[in-house]
Amino acid sequence: MSTATQTQTITAENVIRLFPDVNTSLASSHKTPTSDSDLQGYDAEQIRLMDEVCIVLDNDDNPIGSASKKVCHLMKNIDEGLLHRAFSVFLFDSENRLLLQQRASEKITFPDMWTNTCCSHPLGVPGETGAELDEAVAGVRRAAQRKLDQELGIPGKQVPLEKFRFLTRIHYKAPSDGKWGEHEIDYILIIKSDVDHTANPNEVQDTKYVSQEDLRQMFQDGSLTFTPWFKLICNTMLFEWWDHLDQGLEKYQGEKEIRRM
């Protein structure tokens, strides 16, 4: 996996010069042309989602503009340092089992891979943006609630905003294939709730609740693949957090420093 090392520093002053497809307005439209050659052959719904507006960041998680999901996930832009905001939700039930999802084959990035409950992006729209950490955390909580419903059919009332616990941010870069990848500052959210879920088959092909031992056994199964951010979080922090779900998790919450992976 690549590290988060950048070839250049992206700032509010140079972002437009380096990336003409970035808009300095956060709540902007980024309509992808229907004839876009980069997206030919992919699932129609996943192509539509590539129009979503991601929050473009400088290296310190300050919003400096917005760009389409497509622009943010092209490796040619990632290799030049383009960075966006994301979140990863880890949802546990009352037995402290973690809900995993296997990404659908239709996904443009990291198809068929197992990962944490939900991973996506706050959008450059009112309510999901934010420059200060507290405001940004509130935005990713709203985005997490929205995406848990969209991907897994989990009702918002079963995952109320105040139950999401923000732990830390990780900055990482990882290729999916030669064309697509991720370069994100990823907000880590943990929530404990018993939920009803019905997977959206265009997003999720399978789900599974796992114990710590179940997950360790899955990692030993050579037939399974996992998203790079999920393995990164598991290999560094997840199992320690898991041990403290019911007592002592507070000491891990609200980290101010960004973890550079």
User: Contact, 118 vs 146, CB < 8 A?
Assistant: no
Radius of gyration of the chain (CA): 17
User: Contact, 21 vs 73, CB < 8 A?
Assistant: no
| Residue 240: active-site member | no
Cβ-based neighbour number of residue 46 at 10 Å: 18
CA 3 to chain centre: 17
Beta-ladder partners of 205: none
**What type of residue is 96?**
N
| Residue 184: active-site member | yes
**Catalytic residue selected from 54, 72, 119, 234:** 119
Place of tokens 């990882």: 174
Burial classification of residue 246, based on how many CB atoms lie within 10 Å of its CB (0-12 exposed, 13-18 middle, 19 or more buried): exposed
**Catalytic residue selected from 128, 184, 203, 234:** 184
SS3 content of the chain, % helix, strand, coil (to 5): 30, 25, 45
**What type of residue is 11?**
T
Distance CA 191, CA 145 (A): 11
Would you please indicate which residues are annotated as catalytic (active-site) residues? 119, 184
